[in-house]
Chain A
Amino acid sequence: MQDGVVIAKVDEFLNWGRKNSLWPMTFGLACCAIEMMATGASKYDLERFGCGAFMATPRRADLMIVAGTVTLKMAERIKVLYDQMPAPKYVISMGSCSNKGGPYWQYGYHVLKGVDEVVPVDVYVPGCPPRPEALIEGFLTLQKKIANEGLLRDKWVKNA
């Protein structure tokens, strides 16, 4: 950058940084988590999109991938973990289970029928389990969503 000049809106600059360094939380619930691990491993390599740094604590993460069956017992803990994450924070619901109860939607007495009952979800990734490509698509969708956000505009400009 010695000789060049880069002109950008502050918001866009921030978004560019945020969307290319999404840090998910290390956290998997059931079979879908295996597929999430595969996505993070060398073959699909999430690091290409800047979201491979799985954080071991919710306080350092800004993305929660709910990968797997959300039982009622777990739903309470998910709520706590979500509250511990610093804003701005995002949630990807991965797999039929966390989307809407999955195989347990009709007779599962112990399963929450969709994680959106307890936390707001940004991107739903369908499948049982979704292939790594599907999860990557979910990430890209989320990155597009982040790119169109205007954090500073919302904060500083009235009636934005």
Chain B
Amino acid sequence: MHEEWAALLSDRVPDCEAKVVFGKAGDKSIFVASPSLHRVCTLLFSHEDFDFHVLQLITGHDYLASEETKDTPAQRARIEVSYLLTSFRKNHDLILKVELPRENPTLDSVCDLWASANFQERECFDMVGVRFENHPDLRRILCPDDWEGYPLRRDYEVQKSWHGMEVEPEHKMNLPEREFEKRQKEMAAKHGV
């Protein structure tokens, strides 16, 4: 079914570059180019073959390029935003994904199509820092308004203190354990395990 959908999408939105991707585990998804996202969503919402009238969730995921795999296309540094769309009338669903650069990721908001996108996009902004254009009220949703950084970024470093409260008091934590994985790798490299 996804192939037909992708063909229909490419037919109606010529610059969307829809392609079907098989996950190693889990479901198929359709990738589209990020500038065409709003037009693609409008089509998915209104076309009677799709009829996706429910947006279940929007989630952002951050990928860092790793040293070993940076040449394979799947392991670029990127931010992926997934939209899980459902139609109860047609009884089908779809995972729609777009890929964004890690610096200044920007997307069009789909709040005008699905009202549920409002909080989901705010969460995505809060956690991985994707800016949604034309969002009615793009503020942080979980973290405090003056929080620094985006916690679900892979390279996130938590700030030292917030409003005079120490975030990670040294005497209450086991900070050396943080280094555990690093040390493990060093040892493995040293002893050739």
If A109-B158, A110-B143 touch, whether A72 touches B173 (CB-CB below 8 Å) is: no
Q: Is B166 in contact with chain A by the CB < 8 A criterion?
A: yes
Contact mask for chain A residues 100-119; partner B; CB cutoff 8 A; 1 contact, 0 none: 11000110011011100110
B172's partner among A73, A100, A109, A110 (CB-CB below 8 A) is: A100
A110–B162 Cα distance when bound, in Å, is: 10
B163's partner among A76, A109, A113, A114 (CB-CB below 8 A) is: A76
Q: Is B192 in contact with chain A by the CB < 8 A criterion?
A: no
Q: Taking the nearest CB of chain A, how far is it from the CB of B153, in angstroms? A: 11
Closest to A73 in B: B144
Consensus secondary structure, chain A interface: loop
Contacting pair B174 A106 (CB below 8 A): yes
Q: Is A146 in contact with chain B by the CB < 8 A criterion?
A: no
Q: Is A75 in contact with chain B by the CB < 8 A criterion?
A: yes
Interface size class of B (residues with CB under 8 A): 10 to 19
A144–B177 Cα distance when bound, in Å, is: 39
Inter-chain CB contacts under 8 Å: number = 35
Q: Is B35 in contact with chain A by the CB < 8 A criterion?
A: no
Contacting pair B172 A105 (CB below 8 A): yes
Q: Taking the nearest CB of chain B, how far is it from the CB of A90, in angstroms? A: 22
Contacting pair A72 B167 (CB below 8 A): yes
A113–B165 Cα distance when bound, in Å, is: 10
A105–B166 Cα distance when bound, in Å, is: 13
A113's partner among B142, B144, B169 (CB-CB below 8 A) is: B169
**What residues on A are CB-neighbors of B144 within 8 Å?**
72-73
Contacting pair B151 A113 (CB below 8 A): no
Q: Is B3 in contact with chain A by the CB < 8 A criterion?
A: no
A75–B178 Cα distance when bound, in Å, is: 25
Closest to A101 in B: B172
Q: Is B168 in contact with chain A by the CB < 8 A criterion?
A: yes
A-B contacts, 30 listed (Cβ < 8 Å): A72-B144, A72-B162, A72-B163, A72-B165, A72-B167, A73-B144, A75-B165, A76-B163, A100-B172, A101-B172, A105-B172, A106-B173, A106-B174, A106-B178, A109-B151, A109-B156, A109-B158, A109-B167, A110-B142, A110-B143, A110-B151, A112-B165, A113-B166, A113-B169, A113-B172, A113-B173, A114-B172, A117-B165, A117-B169, A118-B165
- Kindly list the 5 A-B residue pairs having the minimum CB-CB distance in the complex, ordered from nearest: A109-B158, A113-B172, A73-B144, A72-B162, A109-B151
Q: Which residues of B contact A (CB under 8 A)?
A: 142-144, 151, 156, 158, 162-163, 165-169, 172-174, 177-178
